[in-house]
A and B are shown apart, each in its own frame.
Chain A
Amino acid sequence: MNQAQNPISLSLRRVWALSHNTFLELVRLKVFYFLLLFAFLIIGSSLFTVQFSFQNPLQVLKDVGLGAMSIFSWLLGLLCTANLLPKDMEDRTLYTILAKPVSRFEYLQGKLYGVFLLLGLSVLLMSLLFAGVLAIREQQEIAELARNLSPENLPAAVAEIRAATFQMNLLPGIALILLKAMLCSTLTLLLSTLATSSVFTVLTSVVVYLIGHVQGIAREAWLAGGQASPLLKVLVAGMALAFPDLQLFNVVDEIAVGTALPAQLFWQVAGFGGLYILVYFLLAQLVFSTREL
């Protein structure tokens, strides 16, 4: 081995090797294909089921598509991450890897970045299908308009349809869906460094996911009227710190009706998500660095 190589560059190469390997491992898992297939089925079938709804078809498509992307990307991240560490420990592959000049920090980074790569690919594929479904529906709507409207009124109506189909604010919404999945995966990784069983990790992650979605409502209810005791306030503050408010990432409803996502809000939520990812990862590293193998 060339000792004169830059240690940072060597470290980055090791992390990349581990990430790439983790990505390959996950992409060859059956659960990846099953979940992606279900997501495709739900997004694809919305094209047919929308005709049975009384709401604006494009809005329904966006609701279903973005909702499916949110659920499936979270589920994929959870199921893929939960078994990464336990499997390597049980198979003793971890020993072979850490017996190389690889630190536990690099190992954990590699695993997490591999999951992020998988999530990025999944969200990209679902987004492409989603865009395809919207494009098909757009053509159907325009064809319907062409049959019913006069030629003078048609261009304006078509422009309105096109504007409603694809809006730039869809992209920040999709980015936040991806970020939420990455945050939940990082949390799952932290839980797996503490747990000895992947079943426990999955169950705990689901509970934290649910807490993350209802904590905003619970906080408002408990603190309403200003009568809360100091102890309750401390407990609520602790809960708010430990569990991220995942409702912040739920911008699907606003996007579906065409509301633009303010840039400041996007960056605040993205920063919030990024900070939690960093904290959870550092905690995972702290636990993993002291764990007996």
Chain B
Amino acid sequence: MAVCTTAILIKDLCKEFPVPFRRETVKAVQNLSLEVPAGEVYGLLGPNGSGKSTTMKIVLGLVRPTSGTTAVFGVDSRRVESRENVGFLPENPYFYKYLTGLETLLFFGKLCGLSGRPLRERSRALLQTVGLEDAADRRLGGYSKGMLQRIGLAQALLGDPKLLVLDEPTAGVDPAGAHAIRDLILQCKQRGITVLLCSHLLGQVQEICDRIGIMDRGELLAEGRIDDLAEKKNQIELVLENATPALLESLGAMSRASGAQVVSQRGARTDLEKFFLDVTRHRS
């Protein structure tokens, strides 16, 4: 059987929702076409109501398209088989409160076709990976937001998926938790797992994603590699250490003489997230 190198293929996708008691429809997705090769981390961005979640749900077979097709590793999304290699973390995941962390993974693992000792071992290993081994026997009703996100990620990874679909994976999570989730996503990327990521946190998207697509009002407005899209074509950033005022003055003069322009000059700053993590790590 030929190996499919395209993880997600969306062609001319349209989705309209009828408005109750009216003859109108709301166009959630309009003529969307995109392709995510296997092994890539693809960020799907856009403002609220842009059609990202609807697109995601159609790819997962949760919602039927009005027209167009979507396929996961060559299998039509409407077929149950298309989800055999997919792990999904919804936005603000909510699981059964009365189940413990381990019971939750055992439940979802059985739905993936796992059972017995292999399932138990995999569940315990994933709990360790997401840092929840101490909370394995605690009911989810007592989990914090960050813990719920992590158990959500663990259940998404249970079936050893080839495609991970993550909807706002760090929403509402503190910086340390978000950092840990980001690292997990990067580990998945290194293992060759394809990731489709929806997020409003553009800084994180910039760190993790290979390519992005920007949607608004159901349409794909821009798509491409982040470096290509975000690069300012005629500007260069230069960071100097221990530069004297005289050196800065002469650099400015040289720029003006050659027709270039110093757009801005300021002291370099560390990333606020790195600063926060450094401070809290030292304290703990």
Interface residues of A (CB under 8 A from B): 1-3, 5, 10, 13-14, 16-18, 21, 24-25, 28, 91-93, 95-103, 292-293
**CB-based contact A102/B62 at 8 Å:** no
Residue in A3, A25, A100 whose CB lies within 8 Å of B111:
A100
A238 to chain B, nearest CB (A): 28
Choose, from B89-97, B127-135, B258-266, B276-284, the stretch at the interface.
B89-97
Per the bound structure, the CA–CA distance linking A98 and B63 in Å amounts to 11
Q: How large is the interface on B (under 10, 10 to 19, 20 to 34, 35 or more residues)?
A: 20 to 34
Residue in B57, B81, B83, B110 whose CB lies within 8 Å of A17:
B110
Per the bound structure, the CA–CA distance linking A75 and B98 in Å amounts to 23
B87 to chain A, nearest CB (A): 8
Per the bound structure, the CA–CA distance linking A91 and B86 in Å amounts to 21
The A/B interface has a contact count, at CB < 8 Å, of 84
Residue in B88, B94, B107, B160 whose CB lies within 8 Å of A99:
B88
Per the bound structure, the CA–CA distance linking A10 and B115 in Å amounts to 10
Residues of chain A with a CB closer than 8 A to B81's CB: 101
**CB-based contact A1/B112 at 8 Å:** yes
**CB-based contact B60/A10 at 8 Å:** no
Per the bound structure, the CA–CA distance linking A95 and B92 in Å amounts to 12
**Segment 88-142 of B: residues with Cβ below 8 Å from A:** 88, 90, 92-96, 98-99, 107-108, 110-115
B226 to chain A, nearest CB (A): 27
Residues of chain A with a CB closer than 8 A to B115's CB: 13
Residue in B17, B64, B107, B111 whose CB lies within 8 Å of A101:
B111
Residues of chain A with a CB closer than 8 A to B92's CB: 92
Instruction: Tell me if B159 is interfacial: C-beta within 8 Å of chain A.
Output: yes
**CB-based contact B17/A95 at 8 Å:** no
Instruction: Tell me if B223 is interfacial: C-beta within 8 Å of chain A.
Output: no
Instruction: Tell me if B199 is interfacial: C-beta within 8 Å of chain A.
Output: no
Residue in B57, B96, B114 whose CB lies within 8 Å of A95:
B57
A122 to chain B, nearest CB (A): 18
Residue in B63, B90, B160 whose CB lies within 8 Å of A92:
B90
Q: Of all chain B residues, which has the CB nearest A104?
A: B80
**CB-based contact A2/B90 at 8 Å:** no
Residue in A92, A95, A100, A293 whose CB lies within 8 Å of B108:
A100
